[in-house]
Amino acid sequence: MAETKDAVSFIDYEYAMYNYRGFDIANHFNEYAGFECDYSRYPAKSTQLQWFKAYLDHLGQDSSPAALEVVYHEVELFQLASHFYWGVWALVQASISDIDFDYMAYARLRFLQYFQVKSLVLGD
């Protein structure tokens, strides 16, 4: 923490990479579920829209209701990519990691959520 500021920043360098805005935000919201994958913790649309407004306002970008809906739809789609990414990651970890964690169960939960969200978002 910088002595001249009243803020703390956390950066996970292990998985740091350039990414799409929608993926980063969707991944952030998916993390609310924790390793237990309790998606009842995923923020409601109204909460997401408030978050998007603060985000866009901070960037000095259009935060009109129409712009918020664009970001909402973007994040909905990238929610799928986040679940798929971490599902595949867990499958790989199940075969290489020495950490005592049920990666296969975690992969299963992420893929189940992927297919549930996919049918809601894409209507499949």
**Structure confidence by residue, pLDDT tens digits, 74-83:** 999 999 999 9
Q: Is residue 8 part of a domain?
A: no
Residue 33 falls inside a structural domain: yes
Domain count, the chain: 1
Question: Has residue 118 been placed in a domain?
Answer: yes
Looking at the domain assignment, is residue 6 inside a domain?
no
Residue 2 pLDDT exceeds 70: no
Can you tell me the mean pLDDT for 90-119?
A: 97
Spatial contact of 107 and 87, defined as CB atoms under 8 Å apart: yes
Answer whether residue 2 is part of any domain: no
CATH (domain of 43): 3.90.1200.10
* Enclosing domain of residue 47: 13-122
Residue 61, in any domain of the structure: yes
> Which distant-in-sequence residues (6+ apart) come within 8 Å of 43 by Cβ?
29, 32, 51
Does some domain include residue 7? Answer: no
Angle at 58 between CA 57 and CA 60, to 5 degrees: 60
Grade residue 124 by pLDDT with cuts at 50, 70 and 90: confident
Instruction: With respect to residue 112, please indicate whether it lies within any of the assigned structural domains.
Output: yes
Q: What is the pTM of this model?
A: 0.85
* Average pLDDT over every residue of 95-120: 97
